[in-house]
Amino acid sequence: MNAVRLEIIAPLVVFVSVVAVGASILMAREHRKRVLKSRLDEITPIKTCRPPGKKGSVLLHFLESVGNFASHGQASTSLWEQLARAGYFGAGAPAMYTGIKMLLFTAGLVVAAVLVLPLKSYVGTKITGILLGGTILFFIPNISILVRLKARRNEIRRWLPDAIDLLEICVSSGIGLDMAWNIVADEIQHVSPVLAGAMVLANFEIHLGASRIEALQHMAARTGVEELSSLAAILVQTERFGSSVAATLRSFAASMREERRTAAEENTEKIAVRLIVPMVLFIFPAVLIVGVGPAIISLIRVMTLGY
């Protein structure tokens, strides 16, 4: 009898023990999930909440949705590069760009239709005017991106020689090139945030495992500044032949200043040619009217009135 009870109780005890262990493990996992969820719930409102009265995030989300619908969620490599060079590095930048173009195209069609349809003209002329209005607004983002890209590129070219000089001073004083790069990025932040941001991004890429040369090449590709590609090539030669980094940076900065001076002289010489058109269109007619006008008036008076 005792043996029978033992055969029945032993499996029950084992079963209850297994169920208890499993239940404790599941409860522990559920407790961890609840803790993590509570922490995420505390953090998420801080990141996703929108200030009252501001609908910028809603508008951006709408533009991104329109852009994804128009481009099927895919963006070309050239568009990515162009937006990155203009300073737009966000993952949704191509979609927002496409959404803005589609919204402006639609607004242009509507405005042109309101202005053209009441006019009395041919149907083909009206359709051409409506399409022309939409096309003009459609290409406004392209022009804006090109202007911003050129401004950023000119700013980097303006301050890059000074940054190279600071880099050369730090290297000459015994500081490593990576540490000198960080110092120069912090110092140049006050005068050129664009160049400082590009340097910080390149330094972050180095910390992620890329070589200094690769980071500089990627920096040149992101900014579209050819001088950075030249700097990367010069540093490659410096490491290969073991020459002085400070001397290389010094000569590179001097060559950049010489190129900038030469470009300024060329632009100065082109001013005389560029002034010909406004002189012919505006200044020369005014001088002609002031100089010859009284004589023509006197001649007409003599011919008509006789005195």
Put residue 75 in one of left, alpha, beta given phi > 0 → left and psi -120 to 50 → alpha.
Answer: beta
In a domain? residue 53? no
Exposure of 62 in the CB half-sphere (CA atoms within 13 A): 8
Number of residues assigned to the chain: 307
| Residue where a domain terminates, one of 105, 138, 171 | 138
- What is the reported pLDDT for 52? 43
Q: 114 and 90 share a domain? A: yes
In a domain? residue 48? no
Place of tokens 């002329």: 125
In a domain? residue 149? no
Q: 181 and 265 share a domain? A: yes
Over 80: is that where the pLDDT of 18 sits? no
Lowest mean pLDDT among 53-57, 108-112, 195-199, 216-220: 53-57
Q: 305 and 286 share a domain? A: yes
Q: 100 and 162 share a domain? A: no
In a domain? residue 2? no
Q: 167 and 266 share a domain? A: yes
Over 80: is that where the pLDDT of 21 sits? no
Q: 162 and 256 share a domain? A: yes
Over 60: is that where the pLDDT of 13 sits? no
In a domain? residue 206? yes
- What is the reported pLDDT for 235? 80
Tokens of 214: 């690769």
Query: 249 and 180 in contact (C-beta within 8 Å)?
Result: no
Q: 158 and 246 share a domain? A: yes
In a domain? residue 36? no
Centre a 10 Å sphere on the Cβ of residue 46 and count the other Cβ atoms it contains.
7
Over 80: is that where the pLDDT of 5 sits? no
- Of 23-32, 95-104, 119-128, give the range with the top mean pLDDT: 95-104
Quick: pLDDT tens for 194-209: 888 888 888 888 888 8
Instruction: Tell me the average pLDDT of the chain.
Output: 78
Nearest alpha carbon to residue 67 among 41, 88, 94, 90? 94
| Residue where a domain terminates, one of 138, 171, 196 | 138
Over 80: is that where the pLDDT of 12 sits? no
Query: 245 and 177 in contact (C-beta within 8 Å)?
Result: yes
In a domain? residue 31? no
Q: What is the pTM of this model?
A: 0.62
CATH number of the CATH domain containing 165: 1.20.81
Q: 219 and 193 share a domain? A: yes
Q: 118 and 75 share a domain? A: yes
| Residue where a domain terminates, one of 138, 166, 198 | 138
Each as own residue / partner, the long-range contacts of residues 218-226 (CB below 8 Å, 24 or more positions apart, any chain) are 221/81, 222/81, 222/84, 222/85, 222/198, 223/85, 223/152, 223/153, 223/156, 223/198, 224/85, 224/149, 224/153, 225/153, 225/156, 225/157, 225/160
Nearest alpha carbon to residue 170 among 159, 156, 186? 186
Domain boundaries, position 237: 154-270
In a domain? residue 52? no
What number is the average pLDDT over the span 211-235?
A: 83
Query: 215 and 203 in contact (C-beta within 8 Å)?
Result: yes
Q: 159 and 264 share a domain? A: yes
Q: 159 and 259 share a domain? A: yes
Q: 192 and 216 share a domain? A: yes
Quick: pLDDT tens for 139-198: 898 898 899 988 888 888 888 888 888 888 888 888 888 888 888 888 888 888 888 888
Place of tokens 């951006």: 60
Domain count, the chain: 3
Centre a 10 Å sphere on the Cβ of residue 198 and count the other Cβ atoms it contains.
24
